[in-house]
Structure 1
Amino acid sequence: MDSTRGKRVSNVRNFGAAGDGKADDTKAIQHAVTSGDDVLEFPKGKYRITQTIEVPLERRQCLDGGGQGVVVMEGPGPAFRLVGTHGGTGDPGSIKPEVWSQCLPAIRNLVIEGGHAGADGIELVETMQAVIEGVLVRRVRHGIRLHKRNRNVLISHCHFYFNTGVGIFLDRVNLHQINITGSHISYNRQGGIRIEGSEVRNLQITGNDIEYNNHRAHGTDPEPTAEIYVDTTARGSSVNELTVSANTIQATVSPGGANIRVLNDLEDGRLPGLWSITGNVIGNQENNVHLTGCHGVVLSGNCIYSCGRHNLLVEHSSHLTIGTNSFRRHTPGMHTGIRLVSSRDCLINGCTVEDQDPAGQKTGLSLLELDRCLRINVSGCQFLGGVPYGVDARECSQTNISGCTFADWRVEKRTKGAIRFEGEGHANLVTGNVIARDVAQPLLCGPGVLIRDNLVGR
């Protein structure tokens, strides 16, 4: 008996597993799962398997490697597939009696390695309250794949490292309540955390190191990916009620890449929203945060640094609150800036945006670009060293720029102007801003802009 768990314990070696890295232990481990006790231990050794170990959750089970057991998957598919029968929701009234005995299936302290191009780590199907803890998955395709339907999933203190697919893949799954915390998710070619074709609610991504999830370490051709990639373009898919907090999310620049990428079909489905992205360090991609078709997202308290094109790119979105972020570069050759396209009803408050390139960044982009936007409020921000402009608006209406500071810190001044409005637009207001004397042409605004009570240095 294991008194710490209060469960019966079996050892895979007692069922014939050799753990020598040579013998095929597939049948022995499958036999141990089917006939063993509640807790199945993998003592120190390398357990070679060639087929998926099916773990039907007819009873509560825990697979535990003690930090010493290594399973090498040398066939296609997941090393372990946990399959329950939960077809309900998180509501206790929807849970059938037999599902309660399946709850809390766990894989802990186990190393899973790939020895086949089609090998995956772990797959969860129709589980309830599954726990993946202290697991290292490397050199497989997808580290964890959640499919069909799952509820109340905990993934913590894990390493998903150098896999050819995705670290954590939510693939065509109906999933409510999932926490991903305290994990290292890096060098996965197709993304760190990726959601496609799914209905997801109540997802918390907190306290993780998510980095370098693209093609570079694998020496393959580039493809658009992200550390956190959400694609809701499939009919019926949606992702809402999501928190991304206190993570380090960084990468190397890759074509079409982003640190956080949200892609939505504008004509169908529920817009990605009820999101909070706060307190993260995000940087070093083509676009650090790239949102398309979002509604109701808060982006606040982040340090967002060093982009190939934009720190923040927003397209066809609404009801965004962008506040108290620091936007900058951290190394020569990188860039900074924000761009909103065809978006409306957004707030940009209390942000610092600085071009630190002595000559002005090579993209030639202003610090804040507004393109065909409606009802954008920009207040209490600092725009420092913008080349050519601090704020550049085109064909915008009902824009309010107030209480901001504009300056050029360079000895040889490069900023052409603080604020420019061009193209058609109406009912725009520029008021109460402070513009340093080193800005060549403070305000370049057409007839659709009311200018009042700005302080221009002399």
Structure 2
Amino acid sequence: MVRRDIDAFWDRETKNNINENFKELYDKAVTTTKTIDDLVLESGESNMEVVQARAGKPTLNARLNVIDDGLNLVDQQLAQTAQEINRVDSSKANKNEVEEALNNKRDKSVPIGLNDTDSELLAAIEGGEGTSFNLESIPRDYSVTPEKTTFVRSKNLFDGNYIKGGLSGSKTSQTPGFVTTGAFEDAKSAVIEVKQHTTYTISKTPSDRFRVALTSNYPEHNRAVKFIRDEYDDGGDSATEFTFNSENYNYVTIYVTINNELPDFLQIEEGDIATEWYTYGFFITPQAEKYSSIGVIKDRMKDGKVYVNDFTGDGKSDADAIQDAFDHSKGNVVVFNPEKKYNVNKTVTAHASKVRGVEGQNALLEADADIDIFKYVGSKTSGNAIPTPSSGNIELAYSEMKPFINHLRVSSTKGAYVGSGIVFDGTYGLTIDGCHAFNLKHGIKVVGLNRDFIVSNNTIYHCSGQGIFWDNADVHQQNIVGNHISYCKKSLYFLNSNMHNVQIVGNDIESGFTDDIRYPESLIHFYIDDSITQVYEAIHIVGNSLQDHLNNYTQPLLKFESKKEAGIQDLIIGNNQLANALKESLYIEGSDRVAFTGNSIKRGGEDVPYSINLVGSNKNVNISGNNIPTGIQWSAETTKTLIANNILDGFTLPDSDDGKVKVVNNF
């Protein structure tokens, strides 16, 4: 007889083992019973058979007891087996029930509708009585809260909801306090819960009231308040900011209008300064962004350079791509794609603190609107260039000084002649080198305050306005060197600017009639009217080629025009070639201390009456050592002027001295 193991997992083999055990036990019991019966019948005839029946037991009864115990064990196993079978049957899934559950399962692609909700929820949606609840103040266990998410609350604590009522009283009289009736029927206030002993700042647009009070509880009608800003502080439309400490109070009331004319915006934030305005609400951080719009990361910055091409794509305009590159630069050099023409439909602006340089690689920025196409700005807004701690120049020398814009082409679409190519403001030591500005209104425009800049080796071509335009600028220390400027209405135009230390050296500046620009005016024109307190001072124009290119339409080539006395001072014009003016080559008005020496003037038209014309008040003028083809004219207001040692071609100038103008040794 072999006992078969019964496993915990009731598979077919286990069930067969149980059956085999039962069968063997049953067969054994039958055999034993038959043997006993035989032994009883034959007990008197064979002692050996009796011994066999006892099976080693002292008596036959003991043998029978063993058999009874075995039968009892079988009964127990049968009962246990029946119990296990019942347990398995009761836990087994019902096929019909499973199929019904699957058929009734909700399709996730179908939105939940009103028919999917119970009657209590429908009543709550309809605003039924007794169905309201407060989700934020009574959160369920494990419910989602801002603290458990990546939501960040806006710094603005005001949710935009004003309540009826205003503040009546003063710092010395805290009553009646908050009032909602009478004259305050149309009054509006903002009430914000605050933390105790915390500093807050209020900032807003103008309104007819600006009173502030603190309370321990939410303000109620005719309840006293603690005024921290009362009627004597209203300030009318000009009052827009206020900083306070909440002390041991829980609410602040901000009374903004008595006649329902709310401010356009109100912000209250923690801290002692007013910062940029945000609406009330939450941000999600970190915010997902398009790869093409993210910052300078990994391969976006190579060897200290940021590449505009890395910011293009995803339907983004060229202007947005350029602006993204500028904005995400962290003191890097920004590099353009040399094979690319960028269509710029709005101004792109780089700041000197972020963009230390621009490598154009002869890429083209093209616009079809009259805009500032590329604007470069810095933090130099006042002062001089003296390196003192109080001036801020030492700090700027580390953070912004000596940026550059190299080899960038800028234009408008063909035939448009609009827009200003490169505009700069607030720069310190900027260099613009090797660029090409053409078919524009203005090639380069200088605005605001700038110090120590250099414009060198550029080509500025065919502009309907100015090649380089100083538009009411404030500029000291500037070098205009080695440029080719041609076919512009005016090549260099200085308009009502505060100008000191200007070096215009070694340039080729030409003009001429064209079908689009038509008639040119001056090659170099300094203009200042009598309302300007500043002057043009220390102007050096040396070693340039200055000419109307064959057409004889430019008049004059050089024009220095001050409508106030001595508005142009220390003007040095030397060793230049001036050629082919329609009228005079040099026009000077309102100057003091002028040296015009070593220049060679080539005659323009046959009927040009004079090459040099001194108009209005000029004094301390030295005209000497020049080649002059036609006459020199001066006004009666000209004083302390010497005209000497010039070579005159086609006219004579006798020696004379009237105490104001001395003419000597010209031939």
TM-fit CA distance, 1:163: 0.7
Corresponding residue number in structure 2 for 1:29 = 322
CA distance in 1, matches of 2:310, 2:656: 67
CA distance in 2, matches of 1:117, 1:322: 39
TM-fit CA distance, 1:346: 0.7
Once the two structures are superposed, residues 298-347 of structure 1 have per-residue CA deviations (whole angstroms, 9 ceiling, x without a partner) of 0000001214332111122111111100112xxxxxxx221112211111
Q: Secondary structure at the match of 2:473?
A: strand
Corresponding residue number in structure 2 for 1:146 = 446
Q: Secondary structure at the match of 2:349?
A: strand
Q: Secondary structure at the match of 2:369?
A: coil
The count of corresponding residues between Structure 1 and Structure 2 is: 349
CA distance in 1, matches of 2:386, 2:444: 25
Corresponding residue number in structure 2 for 1:378 = 663
Q: Secondary structure at the match of 1:293?
A: strand
Corresponding residue number in structure 2 for 1:13 = 309
Q: Secondary structure at the match of 1:129?
A: coil
- The answer to whether the Cα contact below 8 Å between 2:326 and 2:355 also exists between their aligned partners in 1 is no
Q: For 1:165, which of 461, 465, 477 is the aligned residue?
A: 465
Corresponding residue number in structure 2 for 1:65 = 360
Corresponding residue number in structure 2 for 1:280 = 576
CA distance in 1, matches of 2:403, 2:464: 27
Q: CA RMSD in A?
A: 2.4
* TM-score in terms of structure 1 length: 0.72
- The answer to whether the Cα contact below 8 Å between 2:464 and 2:517 also exists between their aligned partners in 1 is no
CA distance in 2, matches of 1:29, 1:349: 57
Once the two structures are superposed, residues 94-132 of structure 1 have per-residue CA deviations (whole angstroms, 9 ceiling, x without a partner) of 235653312122110111111355311011111111110
Corresponding residue number in structure 2 for 1:105 = 403
Corresponding residue number in structure 1 for 2:591 = 294
Corresponding residue number in structure 2 for 1:327 = 628
CA distance in 2, matches of 1:254, 1:373: 35
CA distance 1:157–1:74, change in 2 (3 Å): same
Superposition map of 1:158-307 within 5 A = 158-189=458-489, 191-212=490-511, 216-219=513-516, 222=519, 225-233=521-529, 234-251=531-548, 252-254=551-553, 257-266=555-564, 270-285=566-581, 286-307=583-604
TM-fit CA distance, 1:374: 4.5
Q: For 1:90, which of 385, 390, 399 is the aligned residue?
A: 385
Q: Secondary structure at the match of 1:188?
A: coil
Higher helix share: 2
Query: 1 or 2 for the larger relative contact order (CA 8 Å, sep ≥6)?
Result: 1
Superposition map of 1:419-458 within 5 A = none
Q: For 2:635, which of 341, 360, 366 is the aligned residue?
A: 341
TM-fit CA distance, 1:294: 1.0
- The answer to whether the Cα contact below 8 Å between 2:559 and 2:586 also exists between their aligned partners in 1 is yes
TM-fit CA distance, 1:59: 3.1
Q: Secondary structure at the match of 1:13?
A: helix
Q: Secondary structure at the match of 1:27?
A: helix
CA distance in 2, matches of 1:219, 1:339: 34
TM-fit CA distance, 1:73: 2.0
Corresponding residue number in structure 1 for 2:337 = 43
Q: For 1:76, which of 350, 370, 381 is the aligned residue?
A: 370
Q: Secondary structure at the match of 1:299?
A: strand
CA distance 1:367–1:211, change in 2 (3 Å): farther
Once the two structures are superposed, residues 132-185 of structure 1 have per-residue CA deviations (whole angstroms, 9 ceiling, x without a partner) of 000000011111111111000100000010011101111101100000000001
TM-fit CA distance, 1:75: 2.7
Corresponding residue number in structure 2 for 1:386 = none
Q: For 2:430, which of 126, 130, 138 is the aligned residue?
A: 130
Q: Secondary structure at the match of 2:446?
A: strand
Q: Secondary structure at the match of 2:322?
A: helix
TM-fit CA distance, 1:27: 0.4
Q: For 2:347, which of 52, 63, 74 is the aligned residue?
A: 52
CA distance in 2, matches of 1:199, 1:15: 39
- The answer to whether the Cα contact below 8 Å between 1:305 and 1:311 also exists between their aligned partners in 2 is no
CA distance in 2, matches of 1:337, 1:8: 59
CA distance in 1, matches of 2:655, 2:369: 51
Runs ≥4 residues deviating over 4 A: 218-223, 366-374
CA distance in 1, matches of 2:592, 2:327: 47
CA distance in 2, matches of 1:346, 1:232: 22
Q: Secondary structure at the match of 2:580?
A: strand
Paired residue type of 2:410: I
CA distance 1:195–1:283, change in 2 (3 Å): same
CA distance 1:42–1:264, change in 2 (3 Å): same
- The answer to whether the Cα contact below 8 Å between 2:612 and 2:631 also exists between their aligned partners in 1 is yes
Once the two structures are superposed, residues 174-200 of structure 1 have per-residue CA deviations (whole angstroms, 9 ceiling, x without a partner) of 1000000000011111x1111011010
CA distance in 2, matches of 1:314, 1:47: 48
- The answer to whether the Cα contact below 8 Å between 1:339 and 1:369 also exists between their aligned partners in 2 is no
Q: Which has the larger radius of gyration?
A: 2
Moved more, 227-236 or 178-187: 227-236
CA distance 1:370–1:235, change in 2 (3 Å): farther
Q: Secondary structure at the match of 1:82?
A: strand
Q: Secondary structure at the match of 1:235?
A: coil
* TM-score in terms of structure 2 length: 0.50
Higher strand share: 1
CA distance in 2, matches of 1:244, 1:206: 6
CA distance 1:368–1:50, change in 2 (3 Å): farther
- The answer to whether the Cα contact below 8 Å between 1:344 and 1:373 also exists between their aligned partners in 2 is no
Superposition map of 1:359-378 within 5 A = 367-368=652-653, 374-378=659-663
Q: For 2:645, which of 350, 368, 383 is the aligned residue?
A: 350
CA distance in 2, matches of 1:246, 1:153: 20
Q: Secondary structure at the match of 1:317?
A: strand
- The answer to whether the Cα contact below 8 Å between 1:170 and 1:194 also exists between their aligned partners in 2 is yes
Can you give the 5+ residue segments of structure 2 that lack an aligned partner in the other structure?
Answer: 1-301
Paired residue type of 1:14: D
CA distance in 2, matches of 1:218, 1:89: 44
CA distance in 2, matches of 1:369, 1:254: 31
Paired residue type of 1:35: H
TM-fit CA distance, 1:220: 5.1
